[in-house]
């Protein structure tokens, strides 16, 4: 099984490059085939493990299907530069890998109607998939940052070429925002690399030394706590991606201007890269840093939730509304992490930390599926009506029942209705964090009310009420258009009703992370 993970990571890019060499006609089929194959492979990993002898994806110290070859390894005097080609999967990354494979496949299916420069489009999407896969599969910090930036240019071009009216502004904003953020992250990686002896950059190494990482740095005569600086530097890039208030303003523009499938990938998996980095690297390798700032992080998370919800409330463009909705929902991830790291209670509240962190990870998955579905819904609507203005519609539920049915399911999942995936994650986060950061949690919980408010208000304005005669000719979603929606709906329902398989595989990884967190607490 060693070969499986590299194949999953690199196959898409190879297929993408190959695509450019093939003639136009079979491009879509090739792309769909490749992505489907990758998705099936990832499922094989997933369920092969479920049924196999192993009972868990293990944790950062015991990744599955790990590959680890020294790539760059040079020592000069006291200076040692070592980069490992280290891939692996554990309970944290595997769900993301599956999600990424699924969403990319659906994205390809969902862009079937695109004909303009289709080869280039699909190639970019495939390269994008490789980049994201790499981020989740990398087990070496330098490798991580390498993959982290691979995704930039494809996304930049995808928004730029196939985007909407303000695509130029959106694409550049996305590019610069992300780059400035990630340059700080790179600085953080330098710092942690040098501070931990500069012998190796593999996750295992950092995870093992995480709790000893203390002390302080000289700064302008004074001195600042090393873990805090590390956290702030590393987190800068992730905060932009998550996106955390106040560095979230790139997201509404990018999501709104990007073509449907790309918005799906942006919201579905690219935001998760930030959350993944936060959990894996910040929390996993510099727990003290997170602890020192956890309450503040919780407050920001609450702001994220309420701010995003508030902004969605007054949007006139469906896509922009959903974009702000994801700002709001990613706040729950932040909240979960903040709770898990909060220094109150010490080890006594371990179970609640566990719940909070597992919830955050689950939220990453569910939000990916739900928001992806929402964007697909808007996309189908947009392809037919060529507008996303909420108030322009009215009563069109009578014209496109299938589309609106699925749309409503997505909305209800997003507002955390039980038996749908969103509820599981949010409930888990809340039950976990309340014990650790009560005040912040209370505010965040209020977001649930607001979410119901703006989503249902949108439904009411666009779909219900008497039919706006302008849309009399509107036709319902075809089966092909509805396929991605239905597929995601199935996932959402399954996770919402029977989350155990997912959670059981996430939990061990979280346990290991929390182990270091609690150790750090002890050091404190």
Partner 1 sequence: MTPVDLVWLVPALPLAAMLIIFFGTRMVEIAVQPRPAAVPAPTDHGGHGGHGPADAATTPDTEAGHDATDQTAHTTHGAAAAGGGHGEHGGHTPFWPMLSSIIGVSALLLSFALSLLILWQFLDVNGDVFHTKNLIATGKDIHLYNWFTIGSLNYSIDFRVDTLTVVMLLVVTGVSTLVHLYSIGYMAGDPGYSRFYIELALFTVAMLILVLGANFLVLFIGWELVGLSSYLLVGFWFYHNPPPPGSEVPYPPPAQLKAFVTTRLGDFGFLIGILILFTATGTFNFIELNTKTQAMDKGLLTLAMILVFCGAVGKSAQFPLHVWLPDAMAGPTPVSALIHAATMVAAGVYLVARLFPIYEGVAGPQALAVVGYTGAFTALFAATIALTQNDIKGVLAYSTISQLGYMFAGLAVADTNTVGMYHLFTHAFFKALLFLGSGSVIHAIGAQDMRKMGGLARFMPWTAGTILVATLAISGIPPFSGFWSKDPIITTALEKGNYIIYGLTLFTAFLTAFYMFRLFILTFGGQGSFLGLWGGHDQYRGDAHPRESPRVMTFPLVVLALATILIGLAGFAGFNQGFAWFLNHGVNVDFPVAPALDANTFIGVGAGVLGILLAIAVYGYGLRLNVALASSAVTRPIYRLLYRRYFLDELYLWLIRVVVLGLSNLCALFDAYVIDGIVNGSARAVRGLGNITRRSETGILQNYGAAIFGGAMIILILVFVATGAIGR
Partner 2 sequence: MTSHIDGIQIWMLAPELSVVLLGFLVLGLDLITHNRRVVAATALIGLLIPLGFTLSLVVKQDALTPDHTAFFHMLVVDGYALFFQFLFLVIGFGVLLVSYGYVEKFLRVTIGEYYSIILLSLAGMMLMASTGELISVYISLELTSIPLYILAGLSRSDTRSAEAAVKYVLLGAMSSAILLYGMALLYGATGTTDLTEIARNTQAALSSGNLVLLAADVFIFTGFGFKISAVPFHMWAPDIYEGAPTPSTLFFSVGSKAAGFAALLRVFIFGGLAAISGGTYLWVMVAIVAAVTMTLGNVVALLQTNIKRMMAYSSIGQAGYLLVGFAAIMISNSPAGNLGILAFLAVYVVTNIGAFTGIIGLADATGKENIRDFDGLGRRAPFIAAGMGLCLLSLAGIPPMAGFWGKLFILLTAWNQGSALTWLVVLGLINSAISIVYYANVVWRMFVAEPEKRDRLAMSGSVTLTMAVAVVGILALTIAFGFLLTGLGGGAGGLFPTATTP
CB of 307: closest distance to partner 2 in angstroms?
A: 26
Q: Which of 14, 32, 191, 247 binds partner 2 (CB under 8 A)?
A: 191
Residue 455 contacts partner 2 per CB under 8 A = no
Nearest distance from C-beta of residue 97 to partner 2, angstroms: 19
Q: C-beta of 428: minimal distance to partner 1 in Å? A: 8
- Answer whether the bond into residue 243 is a cis peptide, omega within 30°: yes
List 14, 61, 149, 467, residue binding partner 2 (CB under 8 A): 149
CA 206, CA 284: separation in Å to the nearest integer? Answer: 8
> Which of 51, 58, 62, 207 has its CA nearest to residue 508?
58
Kind plus residue range of the DSSP H or E element containing 233: helix 226-241
| Neighbouring residues of 439: CB distance < 8 A, sequence distance ≥ 6 | none
DSSP-assigned letters across all residues of 261-286? HHHHHIIIIIHHHHHHHIIIIIIHH-
With contacts defined by CB under 8 A, name the span among 167-175, 254-262, 359-367, 484-492 that binds partner 2: 167-175
3-state helix, strand, coil split of the chain in percent (to 5) is 75, 5, 20
347 binds, among partner 1, partner 2, none (CB under 5 to 8 A by kind): none
Query: Which of 213, 358, 202, 355 has the alpha carbon at shortest distance from 287?
Result: 213
Q: Which does 289 bind (CB under 5 to 8 A by kind): partner 1, partner 2, none?
A: none
User: Please, what's the b/e burial string for 256-285 (b: 16 or more CB within 10 A of its CB; e: otherwise)?
Assistant: bbbbbbbbbbbbbbbbbbbbbbbbbbbbbb
The secondary structure of residue 478, as a DSSP letter, is P
Binding positions for partner 1, 366-405, rule CB under 8 A: 395, 397-402, 404-405
Alpha helix ranges (H) inside 52-112: 93-110
Give phi and psi for 261, each to the nearest 5. -60, -35
Judged by CB under 8 A, the residue of 22, 47, 71, 498 near partner 1 is: 498
97-105, 170-178, 286-294, 374-382 -> range binding partner 1 (CB under 8 A) = 170-178
**Per-residue contact track with partner 1, 452 to 481, x per CB under 8 A?**
xx--xx-xx--xxxxx-x--xxxxx-----
Site string for partner 2, 198-237 (x = CB under 8 A): x------------------xx-------------------
* Three-class SS of 234-264: HHHHHHHHCCCCCCCCHHHHHHHHCCHHHHH
Binds 427, which of partner 2, partner 1, none (CB < 5 to 8 A, cut-off by type)? partner 1
At its nearest, how many Å lie between partner 1 and the CB of residue 249?
Answer: 5
Pairwise CA distance, residues 124 & 154, whole Å: 5
Contacting range for partner 2; rule: CB under 8 A; set: 103-111, 175-183, 254-262, 291-299: 175-183
Counting contacts by CB under 8 A, is residue 14 touching partner 1?
Answer: no
For residue 408, the partner it binds in partner 1, partner 2, none, with Cβ less than 5 to 8 A by kind, is partner 1
- Residue 436 β-bridge partners: none
For partner 2, which residue of 190, 382, 446, 471 counts as binding (CB under 8 A)?
190
Query: Which segments of 388-477 does DSSP mark as H helices, in order?
Result: 401-414, 421-433, 438-462
In whole angstroms, the minimum distance from the beta carbon of 343 to partner 1 comes to: 17
Give the one entry of partner 2, partner 1, none that residue 156 binds, where binding means its C-beta sits below a cut-off of 5 to 8 angstroms depending on kind.
Answer: partner 2
Residues that bind partner 2 (CB under 8 A): 70-74, 76-77, 79, 81, 83, 120, 142, 145-147, 149-150, 152-153, 156-157, 160-161, 171-172, 175-176, 179-180, 183-184, 186-187, 190-191, 193-194, 198, 217-218
């Amino acid at each position: 099984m060693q070969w499986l993970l590299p194949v999953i990571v690199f196959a898409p890019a190879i297929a993408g490059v190959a695509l450019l060499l093939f003639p136009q006609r079979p491009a879509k089929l090739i792309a769909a085939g490749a992505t489907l194959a990758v998705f099936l492979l990832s499922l094989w990993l997933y369920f092969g493990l479920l049924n196999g002898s192993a009972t868990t994806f293990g944790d950062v110290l015991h990744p599955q299907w790990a590959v680890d070859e020294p790539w760059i390894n040079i020592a000069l005097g006291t200076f040692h530069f070592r980069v490992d080609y280290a891939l692996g999967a554990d309970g944290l990354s595997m769900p993301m890998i599956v999600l990424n494979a699924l969403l990319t496949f659906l994205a390809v299916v969902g862009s079937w109607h695109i004909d303009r420069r289709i080869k280039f489009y699909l190639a970019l999407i495939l390269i994008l998939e490789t980049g994201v896969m790499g981020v989740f599969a990398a087990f070496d910090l330098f490798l991580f940052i390498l993959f982290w930036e691979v995704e930039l240019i494809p996304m930049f071009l995808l928004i730029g070429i196939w985007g909407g009216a303000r695509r130029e502004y959106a694409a550049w904003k996305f590019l610069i925002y992300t780059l400035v953020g990630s340059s700080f992250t790179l600085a953080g990686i330098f710092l942690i690399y040098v501070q931990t002896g500069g012998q190796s950059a593999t996750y295992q190494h950092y995870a093992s030394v995480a709790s000893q990482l203390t002390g302080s740095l000289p700064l302008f005569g004074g001195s600042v706590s090393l873990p805090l600086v590390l956290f702030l530097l590393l987190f800068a890039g992730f905060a932009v991606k998550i996106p955390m208030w106040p560095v979230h303003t790139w997201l509404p523009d990018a999501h709104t201007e990007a073509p449907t499938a790309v918005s799906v990938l942006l919201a579905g998996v690219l935001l998760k890269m930030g959350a993944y980095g936060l959990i894996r690297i910040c929390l996993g390798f510099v727990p003290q840093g997170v602890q020192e700032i956890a309450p503040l992080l919780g407050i920001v998370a609450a702001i994220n939730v309420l701010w995003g919800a508030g902004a969605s409330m007054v949007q006139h463009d469906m896509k922009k509304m959903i974009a702000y909705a994801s700002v709001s929902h990613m706040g729950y991830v932040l909240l979960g992490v903040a709770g898990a790291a909060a220094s109150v209670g010490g080890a006594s509240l371990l179970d609640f930390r566990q719940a909070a962190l597992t919830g955050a990870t689950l939220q990453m998955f569910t939000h990916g599926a739900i928001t992806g579905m929402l964007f697909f819904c808007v996309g189908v609507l947009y392809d037919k009506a060529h507008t996303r203005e909420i108030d322009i519609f009215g009563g069109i539920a009578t014209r496109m029942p299938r589309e609106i049915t699925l749309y409503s399911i997505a909305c209800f999942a997003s507002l955390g209705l039980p038996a749908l995936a969103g509820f599981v994650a949010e409930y888990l986060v809340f039950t976990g964090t309340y014990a650790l950061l009560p005040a912040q949690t209370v505010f965040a919980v209020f977001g649930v009310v607001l979410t119901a408010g703006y989503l249902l208000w949108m439904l009411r304005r666009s779909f219900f009420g008497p039919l706006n005669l302008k849309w009399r000719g509107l036709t319902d979603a075809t089966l092909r258009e509805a396929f991605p929606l239905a597929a995601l709906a199935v996932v959402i329902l399954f996770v919402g009703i029977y989350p155990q398989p997912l959670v059981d595989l996430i939990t061990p990884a979280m346990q290991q992370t929390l182990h270091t967190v609690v150790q750090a607490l002890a050091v404190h």
